[in-house]
Amino acid sequence: MTIVTIESTSEETTQQLLHFAEEHGLHFTTEPVHRVLTEADMVTGIGRKATAAELEEYILKGKDEEPIDFSVAFAKYLD
């Protein structure tokens, strides 16, 4: 099995490619370019390279949360 990823900014070109795939009996799926990544996506992958915007969004999503104090996080190991 070979998986091919095609990025297109033209709706007309995309439709032509999908029509070509249908005519030749190829299985295809389409998905939006931007995906909100989850922890599961980071562990198991999403079937393609994540875009820079997707990675940046994932990395920055917890930046405004209060960090956990070291002594609280490792309390059971510090005794």
What's the mean pLDDT when you consider all of the chain?
87
The runs of H, that is alpha helices, within the chain are: 11-23, 39-44, 52-60, 70-73, 75-78
Q: Is the pLDDT of residue 79 over 80?
A: no
Q: What is the pLDDT of residues 30-61, one digit of tens each?
A: 776 778 899 999 999 988 888 888 999 999 99
**Are both 23 and 55 inside the same structural domain?**
no
Please choose, from the candidates 67, 43, 42, 66, the residue with its C-alpha nearest in 3D space to the C-alpha of residue 55.
42
Eight-class DSSP state of 64: T
Residue-level pLDDT at 9:
77
**Are both 26 and 38 inside the same structural domain?**
no
Question: Which position has the higher pLDDT, 37 or 1?
Answer: 37
Count up the domains in the chain and report the number. Answer: 2
**Are both 42 and 21 inside the same structural domain?**
no
**Are both 74 and 48 inside the same structural domain?**
yes
**Are both 51 and 26 inside the same structural domain?**
no
pTM tops 0.85, yes or no: no
Domain containing 63: what range? 34-79
Distance CA 2, CA 23 (A): 18
